[in-house]
Structure 1
Amino acid sequence: MASDQDQKLGMKQHWKALSIVCLVSLSSFQYGLDFGIIGGLQAMIGFLQVFGEEAPDTPLGWNINAERQQLISSLMILGAFISSSTAGFTAKYFGRKMSLWIACVGVFISTAVMQATTEIGGLYAGRLIIGLSNGLLMTHAQLYIQECSPGKYRGFGISIFTYWVAVGSLIGTVIDNFAAKIHNRNAYIIPLEGRMDDAERALRRLRPAGWSVADELDEMKTTLAAEAQMQSSVGYRTLFQNPIDRRRTIISVLGLTAQAASGAMFIISFGTYFFEMANVGNAFENSCILTGTGVAALLFNALVITKYGRRRVMMMSGFAVCGASQLAMAIVYTIEPGTEKTGKVIVGLSVIYIVAYNALISTYAWLTGGELASQRLRSHTFGLATAIGFFGAWLTTFTAPYFINPAELGWGPKYGYIWAGSCVVTGIWVWYYLPEVKDRTLEQIDEMFEARVPARKFRKYECTGHHVALTLDEKPHADHVETQSSNGAGSEPKTSTANTTGTKL
Structure 2
Amino acid sequence: MDMEKAEEHGDVDIQITAKNGTVLEVGPEALYAMETEHRMGFFEGLKLYPPAVGWSIFFSLGIIMTAFDPQLLGSLYATPAFQKDFGYLFEGSYIISAPWQTGLGMGNPIGQVVGALAAGYPMEWYGRKWTFAACVAATAGCIFIQFFARSLKVLLAGELIGGLVLGTYATIAPTYASEVCPIALRGHLTAYINLCFVMGQLLANGVIAGTQTLDTHWAYSAPFAIQWLWPLIILAVVPFAPESPWWLIRKGRLEEAEKALNRLSSSKVDNKPTLAIMIETDRLELEMETGTTYMDCFKKTNLRRTEISIGVYTIQVFSGIYLVGYATYFFQLAGLPGSKAFDMSVGYLAVGFVGTCLSWVLLSYMGRRRMYNIGLAILSVMMFIIGILDCAPNYENRPAVIWAQSSIMVIWNGIYDLTIGPVCFSIICEVSATKVRSRTIAVATAVQALFGIVMTVAIPYMINPDQANMRGKLGFFFGGLSAISCVWAWFRVPETKGRTYEELDLMFERGVKTREFKHYKVV
User: TM-score w.r.t. structure 2 length?
Assistant: 0.84
Residue type at the aligned position of 2:131: S
- State the alpha-carbon separation in 2 of the partners of residues 119 and 181 from structure 1: 21
- Measured in 2, the distance between the counterparts of 1:221 and 1:215 equals 10
**Structure 2 residue 348 is matched with structure 1 residue 290:** yes
1:349-382: CA deviations, max 9, x gaps? 0111100111101111122222211111111111
1:408-464 alpha-carbon deviations (Å, 9 max, x no partner) = 111111011010011111122111111111121211211211121111111111224
Counterpart of 2:258 (choices 200, 204, 213) is 200
Partner residue, 1:115 = 147
Contact 1:3 1:440 in 2 (8 A): no
Greater Cα shift, 304-313 or 277-286: 304-313
Structure 1 residues without counterparts, runs of 5 or longer: 465-505
1:254 corresponds to: 311
Q: Is the 8 A contact 1:99 1:136 kept in 2?
A: no
State the distance in 2 between where 1:172 and 1:97 align: 26
C-alpha distance 330-448 of structure 1, shift in aligned 2 (>3 A): same
Structure 2: 5+ residue stretches without partners: 1-31, 220-237
Aligned equivalent of 2:427: 368
Q: How does 1:197-236 map onto structure 2 within 5 Å?
A: 197-231=255-289, 234-236=292-294
1:63 paired residue number: 95
**Aligned residue for 1:100?**
132
When the two chains are superposed, the root-mean-square deviation of aligned CA atoms in Å is 1.8
The 3 A distance-change label for structure 1 pair 4 and 226 is: closer
Q: Which residue of 2 aligns with 1:383?
A: 442
1:335 aligns with 2:392: yes
1:155/1:309 contact within 8 Å kept: no
Q: How far did residue 94 of structure 1 move?
A: 3.1
User: Which structure has more helix as a fraction of its residues?
Assistant: 2
User: Which string of whole-angstrom CA distances, capped at 9 and with x for unpartnered residues, describes residues 224-263 of structure 1?
Assistant: 223223438532212222x231111111111221211211
2:359 pairs with 1:308: no
Counterpart CA distance in 1 for 2:288 and 2:381 is 46
Whole-Å separation in 2 of the counterparts to 1:107 and 1:11: 32
The total of aligned residue pairs comes to 458
C-alpha distance in 2 between matches for 1:387 and 1:208 = 36
Q: Deviation digits for residues 64-117 of structure 1, max 9, x if unmatched?
A: 211001111222221121110223212123321122112212221221111101
Are 1:271 and 2:330 matched, yes or no?
A: no
Counterpart in the other structure of 1:414: 473
Seen in structure 2, the aligned counterparts of structure 1 residues 120 and 460 have a Cα distance that, compared at 3 Å, is: same
Aligned residue for 1:54, secondary structure, equals strand
Distance in structure 1 (CA, Å) of the matches to 2:432 and 2:290 = 16
1:88 aligns with 2:143: no
Partner Cα distance (1:38, 1:56) in 2: 23
In structure 2, the partner of 1:441 is 500
User: Percent of pairs identical after alignment?
Assistant: 25
For 1:384 and 1:356, how far apart are their aligned partners in 2? 26
Question: What SS class does the counterpart of residue 512 from structure 2 fall into?
Answer: coil
How far apart, in 2, do the equivalents of 1:408 and 1:18 lie? 47
CA contact (8 A) 1:5 1:211 kept: no
2 CA distance for matches of 1:291 and 1:370?
25
2:16 aligned with 1:5: no
Alpha-carbon deviation of 1:309? 4.2
Q: Return the alpha-carbon distance in structure 2 between the equivalents of residues 309 and 32 of structure 1.
A: 27
Q: Secondary structure at the match of 1:86?
A: helix
1:245 maps to which residue? 302
Counterparts of 2:285 and 2:191, CA distance in 1: 29
- One-letter code of the match for 2:415? A
Equivalent residues in 2 for 1:172-211, closer than 5 Å: 172-183=204-215, 186-190=241-245, 191-193=248-250, 194-211=252-269
Q: Does 1:153 align with 2:185?
A: yes
TM-score scaled by length of structure 1: 0.87
The letter for the 2-side match of 1:372 is V
Is the partner of 1:12 in helix, strand or coil? helix
Q: Is the 8 A contact 2:495 2:515 kept in 1?
A: yes
2:463 matches 1:404: yes
Amino acid at match of 1:395: V
**CA distance in structure 2 between the partners assigned to 1:103 and 1:214 by the alignment:** 33
